[in-house]
A and B are shown apart, each in its own frame.
Chain A
Amino acid sequence: MHMPSLATQFLHVLAAGLLLISFAMLAQRRIRRLIVLLAWQGALLSASTLLVAITAHQAHLYYSAALTLALKVIVLPWILMRLMKRLGIAGEVEPLVNVSTLMLVGLALVIFAFGLAQPVSALATTVTRQALGIALAVILLAFLMIIARRKAVTQVIGILALENGLFFAATSATYGMPMVVELGIALDLLVGVFVFGIFFFHIREQFDSLDLHHFESLKEE
């Protein structure tokens, strides 16, 4: 068994960072800090993509890294932050109960993710294939966040974190999807955030709050 190269080890560090940020997001109560964490996750993602591009000589991954940096570190967090300021809820705190249970469930999900990723990692030929388990864990933790939170904004941040996990899965298992597809995904994401933004205003107009506790008129009787 040979020692993994320095670049690979560094990639693993970045991957571990992504996972840690996912856990931090799970427990973060302040919306402003959640957005900052999301931007950090994007930054690590961009850095890891760049590193893969250099070590594996994949030219299209340079564009991918630049796109991630522009979209996930700058544009989306900026849009979200502006929205929060316009809505006057940037400093809001979301009450969270049972953080410790949430963390334990999260841990179980990570173990499950590594088990599930095993056969795929064995098949993949990339230098980063070991990171696939982490990518899947990030995805599952984002799910957990969407389920556990009751505020519209945090659910959206959860979906964006989910997308980060998917993107990381794509780069670590296959050196990224073809450029056309990646651009399409980025476009959908951007439009999605705009639509969410419009939604926030509608929700607040009708319910006077962005708390989804008020959403209970559509239930089976």
Chain B
Amino acid sequence: MELLLVLATPLTGALLLAFLGAYRRAPEINVITSLATLGFAVLLVLRVIRHGPMMVGDEQFFVDPFNVFLIALTAFVGFTTAVFSRPYMRIEDERGRLTPVRLRLYHSMYQLFMASMLLALSTNNMGLLWVAMEAATLSTVLLVSLYRTRESIEAAWKYFILCGVGIALALFGTILLYVAAEGVLGHEGMRALLWTHLDAVKGQLEPTVVGLAFVFLLVGYGTKVGLAPLHNWLPDAHAEGPTPVSAVLSGLLLNVAMYAVVRCKVLADGAMHSLLPGRMLMAMGLLTTLLAAFFLWRQRDIKRLFGYSSIEHMGIITFAFGMGGPLANFAALLHMTVHSLTKSAIFFTAGHASQVAGTQRIDGIRGLLAVSPTVGWGLMLGTLAILGTPPFGVFASEYLVLTTAMREHPWAIPALLIALAVAFAGIFRHVQPMVFGDTNAKPLPHSPALLPVFVHLALVLMLGLYMPPALARWYRLAAHLIG
């Protein structure tokens, strides 16, 4: 029941916002819908804590420790982003970058995007997972090109074609998985596509076919995670779309795609009885992290800069999942959480920072601390957090990843350390003059909603200093589930 409400609320919101059109209160409706979704997600979490994992709707939907925390995180960041988006989009509107029609599209698609991500997270059906991932792409592609500039249209086209091709590979992988499972499970009632059933018989699946399926699924969903070499769409889409969209793309969509990859990895691990799936994730993760870290140096656009930073962190998470084992999985799950919170907070401040300066170019943004201290401090603290400075939560998860790697895969340590150091220097070099320094920019016409930024950062700080026992237990359960 709670799950139904979690899925139905954003869907209803999307329809409502589409029909209301350029209604003056649309941003508020957007916020309220997101708040309701969050409320139902919390109820769902409470229920899972009380009664354990559950299966709904003829086994088509299921909630276990792994996806319930992602559902809660998605609903939470969805809500805070809606809060942030209200004043942000008002300023964009007043600057003439939007029209009522586009604003309506924006609000409606925002909710549709939330609905499709929540569907992807909660479905038990590998086919529906694919459909939901594709729906998530389709609902955001017109948001990336919302400003209708040449650059934004080009970014959206790239996003569309690359993710379209990637997702087609994932569909082929899903078909192959179905072929492998059909012989064992039969094709009665779609059981051969249901993850829980696949998981139960994964030891009997034909290893070669599952291996082939996994390669396609990894490359396909990996495109959406932003794994090299198919990461090209990510910085463009993040830089050219409106900031709330960058925040949810980076903070949520990447996580959801990662979730799909991990679900597939669990099956491949069980079927192949070898370390190959994990090794593939490790190699792709390491390559992605290194590549992104070096690209960080050459960026001139603030949102592009943090887009590359997202790629880097997704690489670290992929690497950690690739190592496997309870500790590395724990670290990866923690990193997914703190990255999502920190990165969306950074995009909030980066968005307002570029509104203050009137440009997204890094060398045009100067002296944020003087014009708008909250934006300046938000950006500085967010940057420190994402770079893994203690005591923030990112430090805790990166430390866990590094110590686990040190014990099990010492060869990867130099590459990881180099990537982290290069990324640290690369980002800090850019952010320092943006926050400090002189400027003659004027403050914003509407006070920005920066409460979400500080709430996110406070949570990240808390996770670094103190992990609530309930959450720790939850991560452990999920980490154990992934194996």
Contact = CB atoms under 8 A, between A and B. Distances in A.
Interface of A: 116, 119-120, 123-125, 136, 139, 143, 146, 152, 155, 159, 162-163, 166, 169-170, 173-175, 177-178, 180-181, 184-185, 187-188, 191-192, 195-196, 198-199, 202-203, 205-207, 212, 214-215, 217-218, 220-221
Contact of B160 (A163, A173, A174, A195): A195
15 contacts: A125-B182, A152-B157, A169-B172, A174-B178, A177-B193, A181-B131, A184-B128, A185-B131, A195-B138, A199-B160, A206-B150, A206-B153, A217-B150, A218-B154, A220-B298
Contact of A221 (B135, B182, B298): B298
User: Which of B153, B155, B212, B298 has the largest count of A CB atoms less than 10 A from its CB?
Assistant: B153
Interface of B: 125, 127-128, 130-131, 134-135, 138, 141-142, 145, 148-151, 153-158, 160-161, 164-165, 168, 171-172, 175-176, 178-180, 182-183, 187, 190, 193, 206, 208-209, 212, 236, 240, 295, 298, 300
Given A178-B193, A180-B128, A218-B158, A170 B148 contact: no
A143 B165 contact: yes
B168 A162 contact: yes
Given A174-B175, A199-B156, A159 B161 contact: yes
A186 B179 CA distance: 20
B251 to A, nearest CB: 22
B302 to A, nearest CB: 15
A162 B212 CA distance: 18
Contacts of A214: 150
B110 to A, nearest CB: 16
Contacts of B180: 123
Nearest to A185: B131
A218 B138 contact: no
B346 to A, nearest CB: 21
Contacts of A207: 150, 153
Contact of A124 (B142, B172, B179): B179
Given A173-B179, A202-B153, A146 B131 contact: no
Give the dominant DSSP class at B's interface: helix
B190 A180 contact: yes
A37 B160 CA distance: 23
A177 B138 contact: no
Contacts of B295: 220
B142 A159 contact: no
A166 B190 contact: no
A174 B138 CA distance: 27
A221 B300 contact: yes
Give the dominant DSSP class at A's interface: helix
A217 B175 CA distance: 37
A123 B206 contact: yes
Given A162-B165, A178-B190, A123 B127 contact: no
Contact of B161 (A119, A155, A188): A155
A185 B132 CA distance: 10
Given A159-B164, A178-B190, A218-B155, A206 B179 contact: no
A114 to B, nearest CB: 14
A207 B206 CA distance: 50
A207 B182 CA distance: 49
Given A188-B131, A191-B138, A195-B141, A202 B175 contact: no
Given A116-B212, A181-B193, A206-B148, A215 B154 contact: yes
Contact of A188 (B135, B142, B149, B209): B135
A180 B172 contact: no
A174 B298 CA distance: 48
Given A192-B138, A199-B156, A146 B165 contact: yes
A218 B127 CA distance: 34
Given A174-B182, A184-B127, A192 B236 contact: no
Contacts of A162: 165, 168
Contacts of A143: 165
A123 B209 contact: yes
A56 B381 CA distance: 64
Nearest to B133: A188
Contacts of A218: 151, 154-155, 158, 236, 240
B299 to A, nearest CB: 9
Contacts of A192: 134, 138, 164
A181 B168 contact: no
Given A162-B165, A202-B145, A217-B150, A181 B128 contact: yes
A194 B423 CA distance: 40
Contacts of B168: 139, 159, 162-163, 166
Contacts of A155: 161
B179 A123 contact: yes
A11 to B, nearest CB: 18
Given A195-B138, A203-B153, 14 more contacts: A120-B176, A124-B179, A136-B172, A143-B165, A166-B175, A169-B175, A170-B178, A177-B175, A177-B193, A181-B128, A185-B134, A196-B160, A218-B155, A218-B240
A56 B375 CA distance: 65
B138 A120 contact: no
